[in-house]
Amino acid sequence: MVLFNYHFHCILHFFPEKASFDVLLKTIFPTIFKSYWFFTAYVVLTLISPLLNLFIKNTSKKIYIYMLIVMIALWVVIPTFARQNMYGEGFAQFIMLYLIGAYFRKYPENFFTNKTTATILAIVCFALLLLSTVALDFLGTKISIFANRGGSFYSRTSLLVIGIAVALFSLALTAPTFSNRFINEVSTCTFGVYLIHEHFFMRDLIWDKIFHVADFFSSPWLFVYMIGVVCLVFIGCTLIEFIRKKTIAFHLSNLLYKLVLFFKSLFEKRKKSEEVSPFGNSSGNEM
């Protein structure tokens, strides 16, 4: 993570007005300074996952369901309808999603793991998501309380977004396994794509200065433009990450491998020298 962000420091050349010591710290240590909320939450989740796994393994189904209901109420239902984020929302949501996924694995007979049910759930939630925008925008023109609330159901804590995520996860569980070399190669670049386009310098550059996304908010072609921009950003960032992997990361991996072999050989030589007696007699017999 640190090595990846060193590469980004070169963009300070293009943003000299934003150069500062704080920016340098965020660039070198993004996790500590929460430059990437997703990755930061993921690291913390990984650290506490052994404790979560103990809970998953030892708790009863009744308590498990109760825990999920409480978490969904606090970090999905309330933020969706009351527009109030609860404390620890980002990290708590990661724990909630982890427990939901583990619940499907522990109780595979669950209602949502049925392919037909999951498909219907995804379609219904997606349709409601689109309708909510139209309905809230219309109500906003009539009732002031609904003004500027067209995107209320699009946040990551939205009940509809979580419903789509659960449905897609369920469909992935029921889908037949397959292997494709191209897909596998692209999938190894997706984390790099996230790091590139979510970098705090790149956000303004991509969305505001290159694609001018805000200018299309009221355009009838917004949906088409949005899909096109997302595809272009994904392809461009994937190419950047692919080149990085085949050049900088490749040579760096070789260097680290050679260093490991070097120190390993030094350790083995030292170990052998310690096994030999100072008088050249490894048996250690006295005169």
Q: What is the pLDDT of residues 197-240, one digit of tens each?
A: 887 778 888 998 899 988 888 888 888 999 999 999 999 999 98
pLDDT of res. 8: 53
C-beta separation of 110 from 156 below 8 A: no
Backbone φ and ψ for 110, nearest 5 degrees, come out as -60, 150
How far is the CA of 283 from the CAs of 61, 63, 269, 271, 277, in angstroms?
64, 65, 19, 16, 8
**Residues whose CB falls within 8 Å of the CB of residue 11, separated by 6 or more in sequence, listed in order:** 199, 201, 202
Looking at beta carbons, which pairs linking 86-95 to residues 24 or more positions away fall under 8 Å?
89/157, 90/37, 90/41, 91/41, 91/44, 91/45, 93/156, 93/157, 94/41, 94/42, 94/44, 94/45, 95/45, 95/48, 95/52, 95/71
User: CA-CA distance, 98 to 224, in Å (whole number)?
Assistant: 33
User: Which is more confidently placed, 248 or 243?
Assistant: 243
Banded model confidence at residue 286, pLDDT cuts 50, 70, 90: very low
- pTM of the predicted model, to two decimals? 0.68
Q: Read off the pLDDT of residues 163-202 as tens digits, 9 standing for 90 and up.
A: 999 899 888 888 888 888 999 999 999 988 988 888 777 8
Q: Given a cut of 60, is residue 278 above it in pLDDT?
A: no
C-beta separation of 61 from 107 below 8 A: yes
User: CA-CA distance, 264 to 255, in Å (whole number)?
Assistant: 14
pLDDT of res. 50: 94
Q: Given a cut of 60, is residue 3 above it in pLDDT?
A: no
pLDDT of res. 283: 47
C-beta separation of 215 from 221 below 8 A: no
**Residues whose CB falls within 8 Å of the CB of residue 52, separated by 6 or more in sequence, listed in order:** 95, 98, 99, 102
Banded model confidence at residue 31, pLDDT cuts 50, 70, 90: low
